[in-house]
Amino acid sequence: MIKIGKVSNTFAYFVRKGKHPKNIEKMLKKIKFKADELNTDVFRAGNKKYIFIGIGSKKGDILRKAIAKALSIEGKITYIPNDLDIEEQIRLVVEGAVLYSLKFDEFKAKRDKKRYVLGLMVDRKFKRFINKVKVIAESQNYARRLAGLPPNIGTPEYMVKEARELAKKLGLSIKVFDKKALKRKGMNAILSVNAGSDKGAFIVHLTYKPEKPRIKVAIAGKGITFDAGGLDVKPARYMFNMHLDKTGACVALGVIRAVALLKMPVEVHVVIGLTENVIGSKAYKPNSIIKAYNGKTIEILHTDAEGRLVLADVLSYISKDIKPNYTFDFATLTGAMSISLGKYAIGAFSNDKCLSELAKKIGEKAGEKAWPFPMWEEYNEMLKSDFADVKNIGSWNGDAGSITAAKFLEHFVKGKWLHFDIASMMIAEKHPYYRTGPIAPGVRLLVNMLEVLENGCR
């Protein structure tokens, strides 16, 4: 819970290197406090308690980490801003507090009932801004919670139900295409991935349309609710956490949630493809050739390159049936992202330089870094098939794996498009404010991008 004003006699103050107000300076000298990063100490003055946390000379993410640490000490605190930029402090502190508040314990017999309340000693003129930041961070938490649902619960059917409930709550329109509808429309790529599963396959289309939208955007999401790799089955260690392969779809739902709650002047279409990729007697096979919704044929070399097949139909549907100004997609698409960027950034792949640069710029500020990759025509050579229009992998040894996956998706896109490969940032381990659990990166990044794109890419 975030409130303006004092909510507790426990005050949090972040100590940077430099001068501070006289009353704070006096307390710091008494306890000989050093402003080293995340160094923590407590000072008591009568019935008041001050939690001092060092932030060194840094700005940005350190404030999110610091507020999470303060809340871990005491769940109800009042934050006193220092003399850094107030609005920036508010954004970072509220984000850190909201993200830290999500506990992944809903399936435990004994749940942690600790509540977190953050008071902000700031002017009430910031109330609207605080609410915006809170809504966006809560929408990321919404996506994180969905992404973390175990595969026996977070099934394709469950995700459809969740999308329907979200649509009802926010007044969104919704279309759901089940197996029969997908077959009628010729969406054979997602149906092929689904063939080995006893669960359903769905494409879900949600729409938020304000009275006078400035632009129309579409957001595609990969929703593989469990990925065993298909007949090209994954080794056990790589199958662990593959319930998180639906994260792209969860992020897309989180974005439309934030946009609708904030009543942004942007028409948003979210289209998510939902299925499992498992082994069964009817599972699709290597060397199969399938036709996607846009008519292009795909030669299957590897059944564990399935997310791009689902997105082939989803992106084709967006291009053919929606025709937006901008198309975005989120997908835990390639393990190669961990090699390229580690756990610190999202891969950004685009056919439009302005979108790539905007993602990089906004991502830095939003705390969800996005790094643009080249999309040169030469990479298409690696996807050429002797028997179909395109192969579903570029090479057997993973050469340019993330780039060739993006180039594959490009075959099913029309117009300006940006693909976010979030595979290396699926999960955090003992993170200061994400704890241990799903991250669902990209919600804050894209919502902030849409604010800029209302007036065109620049």
pLDDT tens across 281-330, in order?
999 999 999 999 999 999 999 999 999 999 999 999 999 999 999 999 99
For the four alpha carbons of 98, 154, 346 and 420, in that order, the dihedral sign comes to negative
Beta-sheet pairing, 326-331 with 215-227: parallel
| 20-44 per-position pLDDT tens digit | 888 889 999 999 998 899 999 999 9
Percentage of the chain modeled with pLDDT above 70: 100
Question: pTM score, two decimals?
Answer: 0.96
Which tokens in the block code for residue 339? 């090699």
User: Taking all residues of the chain, what is their mean pLDDT, rounded to a whole number?
Assistant: 95
- 184 in catalytic set: no
Cα–Cα dist 218/247, whole Å: 17
Lowest model confidence (mean pLDDT) among 91-95, 110-114, 123-127, 168-172: 110-114
Reference 24, options 89, 121, 113; nearest CA is: 121
- 234 in catalytic set: yes
Beta-sheet pairing, 202-208 with 266-277: antiparallel
> Which residue in 65, 308, 416, 435 is the catalytic one?
308
Mean pLDDT of 207-211: 96
What pLDDT, on a 0 to 100 scale, did the predictor assign at position 112? 82
Mean pLDDT of 59-79: 93
Question: Would you state the CATH architecture of domain 138-453?
Answer: 3-Layer(aba) Sandwich (3.40)
Mean pLDDT of 335-339: 93
Domain boundary assignment for the chain? 2-122, 138-453
Mean pLDDT of 436-441: 96
Label residue 82 by pLDDT band (50, 70, 90).
Answer: confident
CA distance readout (Å), 29 to 23, 34, 43, 184, 357:
10, 9, 11, 74, 45
Please tell me the CATH superfamily of domain 2-122, with its number: Leucine Aminopeptidase, subunit E, domain 1 (3.40.220.10)
Q: Is 125 helix (H, G, I), strand (E, B) or coil?
A: helix
48 touches 6 (CB < 8 A): no
Amino acid, single-letter form, for residue 120: L
Mean pLDDT of 405-414: 98
Label residue 197 by pLDDT band (50, 70, 90).
Answer: very high
What pLDDT, on a 0 to 100 scale, did the predictor assign at position 20? 84
What pLDDT, on a 0 to 100 scale, did the predictor assign at position 456? 85
67 touches 12 (CB < 8 A): yes
Which tokens in the block code for residue 111? 């749940």
> Which residue in 234, 320, 361, 414 is the catalytic one?
234
On the question of pLDDT at 446 being above 90, the answer is yes
